[in-house]
Amino acid sequence: LDGLPPLDGPVAGLLGATILLGGVSWLDDVHQWPPVLKLAAQFAAAILVVATGPYPHGVLSPIMGDVPGAVLGGVLSVLGLVYLTNAVNFMDGLNGLISGAVMLACLVLGGLMLGGPTPGGPMLGGPMLGGMALILAAALAGFLPFNFPAGRIFMGDVGSQSCGLLIGAFGLACAAGQPAGAAWSAVPLMLAGVLYDVTYTLVRRWRRGARLMESHREHLYQLATTGGLSPVAVTLVQWGFVLWGGGIALLVTRGRLAAVTAMGLVLLPQLGWTWLVR
């Protein structure tokens, strides 16, 4: 290791958080721990990421405007990381869906973090976090042929939760580089298909009075396959959502498109997808 640059705080914190979450996920697979323990590990990992790395001190929202304060920014960042970690985990039920989606999103995020300054300010996270995003994309590219279209190996909770935490951390690093810009929207735009499916399903089950902690097969991507669409087609649709959101994210971070307009552009395909599979 002589001659290699030392790990900075954000990278060391992210690696430690990923090891923590992956280790607990593996032990949970072995011992079948109660869900609350897994949730506690997710919060601990998210807190470690936020405490050691760059995160938005002012959280931008199209509804709330600029919400200042390091504490509030940190709390919202932790909650966002935990939600994204679970969303990625929930959607890992179809060959290649999550591995391909996260791979494509990491390629875009890596380019953003290594691509130099933008109209809203520099895309931060630094070259090390940008490089980590591209390394994760490369790792998933090597994994994908064994997971899609036929699944011979699978991510499991260890892989899917770690991917959710990592891509969320990369997104926070981008957002920290543009405290007055719209880089906060990059990950939500690219993973709109994942976030919409999970949120829509949770709300629908909550309104029906279903137990939210129970396993089920009511996600939109699952309804699509049971309704007759091939698993390969559904996976490709989800990849298309990521590419569509990635193109929009590039326009937003370069000041060519407002974040609110961008959110509408990624929501429209989700509404069409909902109509199709329901």
Write out the binding residues for Mg(2+).
Answer: 89, 157
- Beta-bridge mates of residue 60: 66
CA gyration radius for the chain?
18
The CA–CA distances, whole Å, from 109 to 147, 159, 171, 196 equal: 23, 19, 7, 20
- Beta-bridge mates of residue 66: 60
- 6, with CB counted inside 10 A (0-12, 13-18, 19+), is exposed
Do 80 and 63 contact (CB within 8 A), yes or no?
no
**Helix segments in the chain, DSSP class H:** 9-31, 35-52, 70-90, 97-114, 126-143, 156-177, 186-190, 192-208, 220-226, 231-253, 259-277
Q: At what angle do helices 35-52 and 70-90 cross, to 10 degrees?
A: 130
Query: Annotated binding site, which residues?
Result: 89, 157
- φ/ψ of 61, rounded to 5, equals -140, 140
